[in-house]
Amino acid sequence: MPVLEDLSLACADQSFTAVVGPSGCGKSTLTRLIAGLLRPDSGDILLHGEPVLGPRSSVGMAFQNPVLLEWRTIIDNVTLPLEIVPNDLSRAERRQRSHELLSLVGLGGFEDKRPSELSGGMRQRASLCRALVHRPEVLILDEPFGALDAFTREDLWQTMHTLRSEENITCLLITHDLRESVFLADKVVVLSGRPAHVQFTAEGGLGAERRLDDLYTPEATDLLHELRHQIEIAQGRSPADEQGESS
């Protein structure tokens, strides 16, 4: 079954791209291709012009489920990638780097707790720190805030925006939350139904200093309206796809 077809997408260095689209259209498949966990049947995935042929440490990933190791403290969870990815840092430097990231996301003082002693939102913050601790150039986020309540999620948008600004990373976010895409991204891409291609792209984004209130400006409201319309078009393609599958 073809999942992605004729899909072309470019993400500028240090930009933030959000990808939205109907359930099952191939968003997670796209992230696995970019991360080098899957190989495309045809076409190329290029990172700085070089083909991606397998997983690499310069691409970090964070998922809906934080999957922290329960037997390790929070700081030891965050430091983990630095124990795996080759680097010249001493143990003290690794802990210092982890400590700085944890402080940045508001988890200063929770370093020695176990994951089960933290709330879902706090665990997700820790997992974002772990995804960034080895300074990847690219961070892929597959619905990282999907399992959180609305207020915690909005709080984490702000955290994510801070991390993105401080760490100078290129981000690709998969989300079903259109407000999240508009709040965080410089570019929002709507994928069509399966087999997915880029159906619609909106460039722009909010200012460097952004607040939740910015989502209620006329420009943001118009964009949200357009994105909703585009998703409906993308979903409208699904019945035709189901017929295609059975043939």
**What residue ranges bind ligand ATP (CB under 6 A)?**
3, 23-29, 194
Is the Cβ of residue 102 or residue 188 nearer to ligand ATP in the bound state? 188
Is the Cβ of residue 158 or residue 238 nearer to ligand ATP in the bound state? 238
Is the Cβ of residue 36 or residue 106 nearer to ligand ATP in the bound state? 36
CA distance 98 to 92: 10
Least distance in angstroms from the C-beta of 218 to Mg ion:
32
Q: What is the CA radius of gyration of the chain?
A: 19
The one-character DSSP state at 197 is -
Q: Which helix (H) or strand (E) holds 19?
A: strand 16-20
Using rule CB under 5 A, residue 65 touches Mg ion: no
**Strand pairing of 59-62 and 138-142?**
parallel
Is the Cβ of residue 25 or residue 190 nearer to ligand ATP in the bound state? 25
Alpha helices in the chain, H assignment, sequence order: 27-34, 74-84, 91-104, 120-132, 150-167, 178-184, 218-236, 238-246
Least distance in angstroms from the C-beta of 27 to Mg ion:
5
73 binds, among ligand ATP, Mg ion, none (CB under 5 to 8 A by kind): none
Least distance in angstroms from the C-beta of 32 to Mg ion:
10
Least distance in angstroms from the C-beta of 118 to ligand ATP:
25
CA distance 148 to 202: 26
Q: Measuring CA to CA, which residue among 84, 92, 27, 75 is closest to residue 55?
A: 84
Interface pattern 7-46 for Mg ion (x via CB under 5 A): --------------------xx------------------
29 binds, among ligand ATP, Mg ion, none (CB under 5 to 8 A by kind): ligand ATP
Least distance in angstroms from the C-beta of 24 to ligand ATP:
4
Is the Cβ of residue 105 or residue 191 nearer to Mg ion in the bound state? 191
CB neighbourhood size of 172 (10 A): 24
CB neighbourhood size of 54 (10 A): 8
Is the Cβ of residue 97 or residue 194 nearer to Mg ion in the bound state? 194
Beta-carbon contacts of 172 under 8 Å, excluding residues fewer than 6 positions away, are 11, 17, 18, 19, 31, 34, 138, 139, 140, 141
Q: How many residues interact with Mg ion (rule CB under 5 A)?
A: 2
**Interface ranges with Mg ion (CB under 5 A):** 27-28
